[in-house]
Amino acid sequence: MRIGIVCYPTFGGSGVVATELGMALAEKGHTVHFITYDRPVRLRERAGHVFYHEVRVSDYPLFDYQPYELVLSSKLVDVAIYEGLDLVHVHYAIPHASAAWMAQQILASKGFHLPFITTLHGTDITLVGRDPSFEPVITFSIERSDAVTAVSESLKRDTYAHFPVKREIEVIPNFVCIDQYPREADPELRARYAPKGERLLVHISNFRPVKRVEDVVGVFRRVREKLPARLLLIGDGPERQRIENMCRSANDCHDILFLGKMTEPEEVLRVCDLFVLTSDSESFGLAALEAMACRVPVVSNNTGGTPEVVTDGVGGLLSPLGDLDKMAANAVRILQDAGALEGFRKGAMVDARRFDVNAVLPRYEALYDRVAGKVTV
């Protein structure tokens, strides 16, 4: 099948999942065309099966804000016609779903049929999408999609709660390619980050306010009162400078390391002992899943879709939002001795395997077949 994938090419979860989905489809023999404004950060070469089409917006001085959605629609029309796409799969509703619908209408006027699937990932519904200025367009685009998926039951409920949509939404969760993750931790890398044998806590995010990175630091400081530990912060974003300043003021930057953006954080994750997730709400919690695929247990809030990913007492421990004392106590419970930690490491892999690509990919392929009209229901 010839599939177009539209996504944000950055480090966010929706772009990472979309890219890994395309790569997995290419491994199965499908031809995948990525259509976006920059090369996706996780995109790897798959000769003859993966192609990238850049959406270039001209810098015309009339526009204060360049019309990306219109240019994306035109590019979709071009790729669909000349590459013979069977369908388009858009990730993150804004503005990809409305652009796909516009392209679909243009193609119909030319005698082409291009079905499109919209996958809802989280903040396109729970944060940005709740802006009243976006609601009519998002509702319209969801209703006009040939199929709609959400990455968790939690996000599905949120969509029905915040938007007047009536159509069916199918839950297909995010996934990881477990076989691609490192089997063993690099002892030299471990020694670099934990030279005195400290426990290593880690957090990965885009450092937006919703991630509550300040709470991650708060949990770490409480843990450090009980046992030797260091904290690795991976990623970047608007809150990073404030968090760095906070650490400098407290004079604990020697134990809190800011590692910045990483295209492949797995090697670092693999040497860590615990992943800390403190977000207001995660529609899925992909970073937590990636950590568990590296045998790293998780302490997190019990909000949003996280409880669907992290089984409390198996892959980690959950606590109420904002309860840093409880979260720190959970962290100490996991880290307090080698036996407890190893038990939770094994549990993390049990949780992660539920979301292995080999379990999830067939669900997307079945959906593609239905939408493209290759099977009847």
Closest CA to 13 of 287, 209, 261, 275: 287
**Tens digits of residue pLDDT in 30-41:** 999 999 989 887
Q: Which residue has the higher pLDDT, 134 or 320?
A: 320
**Tens digits of residue pLDDT in 198-245:** 999 999 999 999 899 999 999 999 999 999 999 999 999 999 999 999
pLDDT at 66 over 80: no
- What SS3 class is residue 142? helix
CA distance 76 to 6: 9
Rounded to the nearest 5 degrees, what angle is found at the Cα of 37, between the Cα atoms of 33 and 41? 75
Residue 123 has a pLDDT of 76
Packing angle between helix 93-109 and helix 135-144, nearest 10 degrees? 50
Comparing 52-56, 58-62, 182-186, 371-375, the range with the smallest average pLDDT is 58-62
Cα 170 → chain centroid = 18
Average pLDDT along the chain: 91
CATH 3.40.50.2000 holds for 178-353: yes
- Residue range 334-342: mean pLDDT, rounded: 95
- Spatial strand order of the sheet with 316-319 comes to 256-260, 229-234, 199-204, 274-277, 298-301, 316-319
Residue 272 has a pLDDT of 97
SS3 content of the chain, % helix, strand, coil (to 5): 45, 15, 40
CA distance 25 to 44: 13
Residue 129 has a pLDDT of 58
Instruction: Tell me whether the omega of the peptide bond preceding residue 362 falls within 30 degrees of 0, making it cis.
Output: no
Residue 60 has a pLDDT of 65
- What SS3 class is residue 272? coil
Residue 122 has a pLDDT of 82
pLDDT at 297 over 60: yes
**Tens digits of residue pLDDT in 270-288:** 999 999 999 988 899 899 9
Q: Which residue in this structure is represented by tokens 């991650």? A: 216
Residue 377 has a pLDDT of 40
Residue 235 has a pLDDT of 92
Instruction: Categorize the per-residue pLDDT at 376 as very low, low, confident or very high, splitting at 50, 70 and 90.
Output: very low
Taking the model in full, what pTM does it have? 0.90
Instruction: Categorize the per-residue pLDDT at 5 as very low, low, confident or very high, splitting at 50, 70 and 90.
Output: very high
Q: CATH 3.40.50.2000 region(s) of the chain?
A: 2-175+357-371, 178-353
Half-sphere exposure of residue 144, counting CA atoms within 13 Å on the CB side?
A: 19
Q: Which residue has the higher pLDDT, 182 or 6?
A: 6
The CATH architecture assigned to 2-175+357-371 reads 3-Layer(aba) Sandwich (3.40)
Residue 41 has a pLDDT of 79
Q: Which residue in this structure is represented by tokens 């630091």? A: 217
Residue 351 has a pLDDT of 97
Q: Which ranges in the chain belong to alpha helices (H)?
A: 13-27, 68-83, 93-109, 123-126, 135-144, 153-162, 187-193, 213-224, 240-250, 266-270, 286-293, 306-309, 324-335, 338-353, 357-371
